[in-house]
Chains A and B, each alone.
Chain A
Amino acid sequence: MSKTEQPTEIRTKPFRRLFSGEGWFGFMLTTPALVAVLIVVFVPFINSFWLSFQRYDLARPQNDAFIGLGNYIKLLGDPRYLGSLKASATFSLVSVVFEIVLGIGIAMVLNKSFKGQGFVRGLMILPWAMPSVVNAAMWKWIFNADYGALNALVTQLGIVQDYQIWLANPVASMSLLILANVWKETPFTAILVLAALQTVPEDLYESARVDGASAWQQFFLITLPLIAPVVMVVGLLQSIWGFHHPFELAYIVTGGGPYSTTELIPLRVYAQTFRSLRFGYGASIAYLTSLLLLFPALAYIRYSYKKVLEY
């Protein structure tokens, strides 16, 4: 019985294998979790798919009907949807660029030895652990037009003369929203990149120095290629999260304004579904967006799954 972990290849049908030996045990132990995830994720996800082909309008139930691709066709010509798609893409991609550049920079610094290194590394977990809704409320307070710390800071530094109503300006609103997001997400990137940096063997740098490589050459020819897989995974993950998760940030800091310029996709779905009560149309927005994110999501799953197989 000592080799039960590696069952010999049984050339029978899967059904027979299920009841032979430990297959049954594996099946029993994994089923409860599978059922739970099926109920709370996949059943609703499929239901959403079905809803997206319906006109399902709580305010006008007499018009409810199956309309095929009707919602999707309407979406492609809906300026508010296209606007929110553009806002989400801007928000997510610009955030990711900053998160990666700053994340790599911070990780490189924290990888050096200095006094208090452990303490500073520990601080990195603070923004990550903070509830995102508190992050949103915090930045809203900082961006406040009358008493906000941002206005106090930039006027005291002499960058601007008078207090500005930042969140009334579309470009400033989007930039500040991205700032709030980058502040919270960069430490996560830095932690992951730092872990990758620690696996780079020191003698690689030594031999490079012997060969007379400059610091920049060392970075681009040794460091970057070796941390590239991690940067890739974090980049994919952060860009997907940038579409999926900024609901509370945008909802609280800007409310989607001014003029809907920061109305990110989750806000648009929320407005269509729970404000206008167009459940079918809301579902089609969520679905079309998921479809757009399918490739990054699959790429991420492939990358991480490979990591599991390497164990």
Chain B
Amino acid sequence: MLPRLRKLFLYLIVLLIVVWTIAPFLWLIISSFSYQIDLVSIPLQWIPKRITLDNYQQLFLYKGNFNVNAALFTSSITNSMVIAFTTTLLAIVLGVLAAYALARVKFPGSNYYMIFMMGAQMIPPIAIVIPLYVILRKLGLYDTRWGIILVYQSFVLPLVIWLMQSYFATIPSEIEDAARIDGCNRIQALVRVILPLSGPGLVSVIVFAFIASWNEYLYAFIYSSVDAKTLPVLIGEFSTKLGLEYLKIAAAGVLASLPPIILALIFQKYLIKGLTAGAVKG
């Protein structure tokens, strides 16, 4: 094949990949800015002649039917935010300490610790959903943010430990030795010397943890009913109950996708490294 023809062929394939990757999401965005009347016409107009913010406004303003009540929508955003932040914070504190010890010290059982954490990730959520439901009910944590934050540790904590310990392992221990000769103890060395050096690793783990908790559906769906309902659960409800409100669902879907997608695009480079090291479920 001629080199120029080859190049053209390559660009065609690249174009195909780009279209395949963005077309469905682009359609969701277009739908969310359209009038219903424009989208029900046959043949369908792919590029709308006019756009509107109605679908977004209604999400925040509509006061009617309970299921689409604006108050429920804003409270679900608050819940999602609080739950994702707190889950991340808790998992980072517990996970970084454990990961640091695993990367630096041998203790009885330390060899099995990682296997144990990986085993935790291989247990199907549906197999622990039932007893956790009973446990949360008994503890009075059903339909509370704390209940969901606690349950989210089941997948966020192993992720944090796994990624952080492989990151710590790449930092030469001579650096801490110097700090410790200067009189730091282990914890001081971790906080003052190692953590500042782990910036990129730490940032990627925080972003992973946040995205994973923000996106989670099954646990939040089962362990919340009103008070702790998260945005994904509400979107699921919109989507199964309100058959006809497609455009409102599209708008809510776009809003729910914004935080993880923006974070992922900003921290792309770090995330791709982490994905390769730790195989993180999206």
Contact = CB atoms under 8 A, between A and B. Distances in A.
Q: Is the interface of B mostly helix, strand, loop or mixed?
A: helix
Contacts of B35: none
Interface in A139-160: 139-142, 144, 146-147, 149, 152, 155-156
B276 interface: yes
Given A130-B261, A184-B282, A191-B275, A301 B119 contact: yes
A152 B108 CA distance: 63
Interface in A230-251: 233-234, 237, 240-241, 243-245, 247-248, 251
B132 A40 contact: yes
A286 B108 contact: no
Contacts of B165: 308
B126 A265 contact: yes
Interface of A: 1-2, 4-5, 7, 14-15, 17-18, 22-30, 32-34, 36-37, 39-45, 47-48, 51, 106, 109-110, 112, 114, 116, 120, 122-134, 136-142, 144, 146-147, 149, 152, 155-156, 163, 183-185, 187-188, 191-192, 195, 233-234, 237, 240-241, 243-245, 247-248, 251-252, 255, 265-266, 269-270, 273-274, 279, 282-283, 286-287, 289-290, 293, 297, 300-301, 304-305, 308, 311
Pick from B102, B131, B235 the residue with the most CB of A within 10 Å. B131
A216 to B, nearest CB: 14
A26 B106 CA distance: 7
A37 B10 contact: no
A250 to B, nearest CB: 12
Pairs of residues from A and B, 4 with the lowest C-beta to C-beta distance, nearest first: A26-B107, A152-B44, A129-B264, A26-B105
Interface of B: 7, 10-11, 13-14, 17-18, 20-22, 24-25, 27-28, 31, 39-40, 42-44, 46, 94-95, 97-98, 100-102, 104-110, 113-120, 122-132, 134-135, 150-151, 153-154, 157-158, 161, 165-166, 169-170, 173, 177, 180-181, 186, 211, 214-215, 217-218, 221-222, 232-233, 235-236, 238-240, 246, 249-250, 253, 256-257, 260-261, 263-265, 268, 271-272, 275-276, 279, 281-282
A137 B249 contact: yes
Nearest to A253: B239
Given A29-B100, A133-B215, A133-B235, 14 more contacts: A14-B109, A22-B107, A26-B106, A32-B97, A51-B131, A126-B22, A131-B235, A138-B250, A141-B31, A149-B44, A244-B126, A248-B221, A266-B124, A311-B169
B235 A134 contact: yes
A305 B101 contact: no
B28 A141 contact: yes
17 contacts: A4-B177, A14-B109, A27-B108, A30-B107, A36-B153, A128-B264, A129-B263, A133-B232, A137-B238, A147-B39, A183-B24, A244-B124, A248-B218, A265-B126, A266-B124, A266-B125, A290-B127
Contacts of B263: 129
A123 B22 contact: yes
B253 A138 contact: yes
Contacts of A130: 25, 215, 257, 260-261, 282
A195 B272 CA distance: 9
Nearest to A1: B180
A82 B84 CA distance: 37
